[in-house]
Structure 1
Amino acid sequence: MAQNYWLQPEQPAPLPKVNTPIRQVLEQPLEQLRRQHQLILNAVGEGIYGLDLDGYVTFVNPAAAAMINWPMEDLIGKSMHTVMHHSHVDGSHYPREACPIYAAFQDGSIRRITHEVFWRKDGTSFPVEYISTPMHDEAGQLIGAVVTFRDITQRRWAEDVLQRTNEELEQKVQKRTAKLRQANEQLRELSDMRSRFVSMVCHEFRNPLNNIILSVSSLNRYDSQLQPAEKADYLLNIQANVDRMTAMIDDILVIGKIEAKVLDIHPTQFELVAFCRHLIDEPEYQRPQRPVEFACRSRQIMANLDQQLLRSILSNLLSNAIRYTPDENPIHIKLAKRQNQIILQVQDQGIGICPADRRDLFEPFHRGRNVSNIPGTGLGLSIVKQFVDLLHGTIEFSSQLGTGTTFIVRLPLTYLAI
């Protein structure tokens, strides 16, 4: 059986001469304990080694030595950083002072790393995840560190296979979509939407799903080490990502009803000024620094329209204005009546729209190039445009990058089915 190598501690002072049976009774538990520790280290499948305060190896188990192809006896007393952690994955020099393992010597902290490599004696490397844990003596003094690591080559291989499979699947979906467009020109618009839908699902759904998977993995892996507040943060992150995907699905269902021409229109008579004021007063449209400003020269404007569609038009435009406008900048909503039309204007002083995005602004799943990490599905303005069309109205906009955007919606006062 492979032996575990330890630095020999300083020999204790000889015991007083006592009866031999008594010395055996005193020494037997200590020897058994050493033997048990040695058997445990030899049996563990993960690599384990210890370092003193100078970074030299004090003990190493067979699994660690086997993974880096070094004899155990040759590792004792060597700098483990020089032996197997001397370079990054690209071969560039890895300074010892930048190594997370040695942070345990500086601040006594535990470091968990999942994205580095260790090097074998033959010059080849393998991906690892490792934990560096500070080691203290009975008096609480820092005396070194214990490092536990594992070879994650198989896991990385599986991740690469999964990624390639996803890419191949996406290519198959795109090819299938192209064949459908060629087979039937009458389904061209539907095929385009399906293609964009696939792209949106791959991109917009992948981020929240990855966040959820990462949170669940962290909860499973470090459950016993996480504080209650940290667990709560992971759960809140999962809930936020679920809500984000639910909102996307709701918008997709609305688009589907419009495309299938099964969205019913129910016009009713109502007063527009009060309608707009009530919408702006709802909690989700409250701004702490600059409340949304509403203006209308008329005290009352009666209209005969579908309130749900009009509400969706105004709420989407207002939500976008709030989302892309700094809290300290103003947002204005103006309502006017001209002959048999109503004119709704939503004006902000936000980030503006890039010229390259304006042609496709009302296309489903399209998002501006300058939105950065501001959340959104790219469906809101598409829904607005199609609802305006259903009500036989028009929508136009003007925008200046970095200055703001103004949307103008014109609708007939009375909806007439065609």
Structure 2
Amino acid sequence: MQQYFWLQSSSNQAESPLATLPQPTETELETLRRQHELILNSVGEGVYGLDLDGRVTFVNPAAANMIGWAIPDLLGQPMHAVLHHSKPNGSPYPAHECPIYEAFRDGRIHRSNTEVFWRKDGSNFPVEFISSPMQDQQGKVVGTVVAFQDITQRKWAETLLQRTNEELELKVRDRTAALQQSNEELQELSELKSRFVAMVCHEFRNPLNNILLSASSLDRYDSQMSPDQRRDYLKGVKIDVERMTRMIDDILAIGKIEAHKLMIQPAPLELVQFCHSLVAEMQLLANQQSLTVTSRHRQLIAELDEKLLRSILTNILSNSIRYSRNQSPIHLRLSKRNSQAIFQISDRGIGIPPEDLPHLFDLFHRGKNVSNISGTGLGLNIVKRFVDLHNGQIRVESKLNIGTTFTITLPLFP
């Protein structure tokens, strides 16, 4: 039975109890050793001990199994050279840098979960370990005990979690960017809508005013007008009606294109007669410009959408008329190259500024030198889209105050 006694100070007051333990017998020591051995052998963590030279003094089965060694082969071995000789990237790991040995030097406990241990077969696995110094009765460090566990599954889970988080962050960024783009597109659409409404009001007001004035003049002064005067007024009304009709057609075409409802309908078409008839119609709408057609072909058959082709050529010819001086020539040349029809429209108009050429086919874009001339900014955008529907190409060459040439290339057959 344990007995306690009190140490007495000089003042004869009790200060602290100390247990007087009898010295253990050999049998008791052996029993205690076996208990410790059973504990070491039963724990799931790897445990081994080192002396001050870093050599193994004891090792439990879990440690030996994890590194692929037999226990007898490990005893007395320098453990750093056995399982900690290299860093995770495979580079040499000097023993003096090993955190396990820090317990020898400073007498403190050291932990790590960023290292790997190496198996006998040369493979490695991530570990979490704790290195605790062993001290004798005088408090002197005589070795260290290392407990470790394989954290492969934990690292895999951490990697999976990190990858999942990165994927989620990427999706959030993508979603945020998509929402931002949608907001920008909505803002752009709102601005385009405002510009479109303003353009329609402005462009329709002028021809409507002209028609109203012509109608009023014919109503009030018809009896006083000569046949030529009446013809001029009626021609003006017709020009304005044709202009508004083209604008309405352009607006409807843009709507169909944006809604993906405009389908190309190719059919056999004789291009030479078609070009002559179209230019004759446009000549009636010209001021005093002279429109001509040339082609070395007497006949040229193609399968094109006549309505879309008419819109393509009419838009470009209308621009040539609008932006050319009176009595200047406008020329349409029709030719064939391999299996393609080539329409080339040239004028000697005011030309297009070089800085406007890259944006010529943008919706609502108008050149800097035509602000005082009426126009919607729709025509060339529609031309480009109709050419694309035919799998064709359009090219423009222009010099300021000299003229402009549009070249449209369309396949003769789909």
TM-score, normalisation: structure 2 = 0.47
Point out the structure with max Rg over C-alpha.
Answer: 2
TM-score, normalisation: structure 1 = 0.46
